[in-house]
Amino acid sequence: MKSTRKTYRSDPLRSVHLAMKGLHKVGAIDKATMRHFDVACLTPVDPIEPDDVRRIREKSLMSQATFAAALNVTASMVSKWERGEKKPTGSALKLLALADKKGIETIL
Protein backbone atom coordinates (compact mmCIF):
# COMPACT_ATOMS: atom_id res chain seq x y z
CA MET A 1 0.00 0.00 0.00
CA LYS A 2 1.02 3.59 -0.48
CA SER A 3 2.00 5.85 2.38
CA THR A 4 -0.70 7.51 4.45
CA ARG A 5 0.40 10.94 3.23
CA LYS A 6 -2.42 12.89 1.58
CA THR A 7 -2.31 13.17 -2.17
CA TYR A 8 -4.41 15.53 -4.23
CA ARG A 9 -6.18 15.28 -7.55
CA SER A 10 -4.33 18.39 -8.77
CA ASP A 11 -2.18 21.29 -7.52
CA PRO A 12 -5.12 23.77 -7.60
CA LEU A 13 -7.24 21.37 -5.52
CA ARG A 14 -4.35 21.02 -3.08
CA SER A 15 -4.35 24.80 -2.63
CA VAL A 16 -8.12 24.90 -2.15
CA HIS A 17 -8.01 22.04 0.36
CA LEU A 18 -5.19 23.59 2.38
CA ALA A 19 -7.04 26.93 2.46
CA MET A 20 -10.23 25.22 3.67
CA LYS A 21 -8.24 23.29 6.25
CA GLY A 22 -6.97 26.60 7.63
CA LEU A 23 -10.50 28.02 7.71
CA HIS A 24 -11.72 24.90 9.52
CA LYS A 25 -8.90 25.22 12.06
CA VAL A 26 -9.99 28.76 12.98
CA GLY A 27 -13.68 27.80 13.06
CA ALA A 28 -14.77 29.57 9.86
CA ILE A 29 -16.15 26.35 8.33
CA ASP A 30 -17.74 23.37 10.06
CA LYS A 31 -16.70 19.73 10.11
CA ALA A 32 -19.31 18.67 7.52
CA THR A 33 -18.06 21.27 5.04
CA MET A 34 -14.46 20.16 5.65
CA ARG A 35 -15.45 16.55 4.91
CA HIS A 36 -16.97 17.75 1.63
CA PHE A 37 -13.65 19.35 0.67
CA ASP A 38 -11.77 16.19 1.73
CA VAL A 39 -13.85 14.11 -0.67
CA ALA A 40 -13.64 16.66 -3.48
CA CYS A 41 -9.92 17.37 -3.28
CA LEU A 42 -8.21 14.19 -2.12
CA THR A 43 -7.50 11.29 -4.42
CA PRO A 44 -9.58 8.14 -4.15
CA VAL A 45 -8.32 5.12 -2.25
CA ASP A 46 -5.69 3.14 -4.14
CA PRO A 47 -6.43 -0.46 -5.13
CA ILE A 48 -5.36 -3.07 -2.59
CA GLU A 49 -3.35 -6.11 -3.64
CA PRO A 50 -4.15 -9.67 -2.47
CA ASP A 51 -1.14 -9.77 -0.13
CA ASP A 52 -2.31 -6.50 1.44
CA VAL A 53 -5.75 -7.93 2.19
CA ARG A 54 -4.17 -10.93 3.90
CA ARG A 55 -1.72 -8.70 5.82
CA ILE A 56 -4.53 -6.40 7.04
CA ARG A 57 -6.62 -9.41 8.12
CA GLU A 58 -3.71 -11.12 9.88
CA LYS A 59 -2.72 -7.86 11.59
CA SER A 60 -6.31 -7.75 12.86
CA LEU A 61 -5.90 -11.28 14.28
CA MET A 62 -9.07 -12.45 12.54
CA SER A 63 -10.13 -15.47 10.54
CA GLN A 64 -11.49 -14.86 7.05
CA ALA A 65 -15.04 -15.37 8.34
CA THR A 66 -14.67 -12.88 11.20
CA PHE A 67 -12.89 -10.36 8.99
CA ALA A 68 -15.65 -10.73 6.39
CA ALA A 69 -18.31 -10.04 9.02
CA ALA A 70 -16.45 -6.88 10.07
CA LEU A 71 -16.45 -5.69 6.43
CA ASN A 72 -20.04 -6.86 5.81
CA VAL A 73 -19.00 -9.22 2.99
CA THR A 74 -18.88 -13.01 2.72
CA ALA A 75 -15.94 -15.13 3.81
CA SER A 76 -15.83 -16.38 0.22
CA MET A 77 -15.28 -12.81 -0.96
CA VAL A 78 -12.37 -12.28 1.44
CA SER A 79 -10.87 -15.55 0.22
CA LYS A 80 -11.22 -14.43 -3.42
CA TRP A 81 -9.56 -11.08 -2.58
CA GLU A 82 -6.65 -12.86 -0.91
CA ARG A 83 -6.20 -15.19 -3.89
CA GLY A 84 -6.45 -12.32 -6.37
CA GLU A 85 -9.57 -13.68 -8.07
CA LYS A 86 -11.47 -10.49 -7.28
CA LYS A 87 -10.46 -7.01 -6.14
CA PRO A 88 -12.14 -5.08 -3.34
CA THR A 89 -14.04 -2.02 -4.57
CA GLY A 90 -16.32 0.69 -3.23
CA SER A 91 -17.05 0.76 0.47
CA ALA A 92 -15.17 -2.50 1.10
CA LEU A 93 -12.02 -0.95 -0.39
CA LYS A 94 -12.46 2.15 1.77
CA LEU A 95 -12.98 0.02 4.91
CA LEU A 96 -9.88 -2.04 4.13
CA ALA A 97 -7.82 1.13 3.72
CA LEU A 98 -9.19 2.47 7.01
CA ALA A 99 -8.49 -0.83 8.81
CA ASP A 100 -4.96 -0.77 7.44
CA LYS A 101 -4.32 2.83 8.43
CA LYS A 102 -6.09 3.04 11.81
CA GLY A 103 -6.75 -0.57 12.82
CA ILE A 104 -9.75 -2.85 12.51
CA GLU A 105 -11.29 -1.44 15.69
CA THR A 106 -12.12 1.80 13.84
CA ILE A 107 -14.70 -0.01 11.72
CA LEU A 108 -16.18 -2.30 14.37
Q: What is the pLDDT of residues 14-31, one digit of tens each?
A: 888 889 999 999 999 999
pTM above threshold 0.75: no
Which residues, listed in sequence order, are joined to residue 106 by a DSSP beta bridge? none
Judged against a pLDDT cut of 90, whether residue 48 lies above it is answered with yes
Q: Give strand pairing partners of 8.
A: 42
Residue 76 pLDDT level (bands cut at 50, 70, 90): very high
Domains of the chain (ranges; CATH) run 11-41 (no CATH), 50-106 (1.10.260.40)
Q: What is the pLDDT of residue 4?
A: 47
Q: Which pLDDT score is estimated for 5?
A: 58
Q: On the CB side of 14, how many CA atoms lie within 13 Å of its CA? A: 7
Mean pLDDT within 97-107: 89
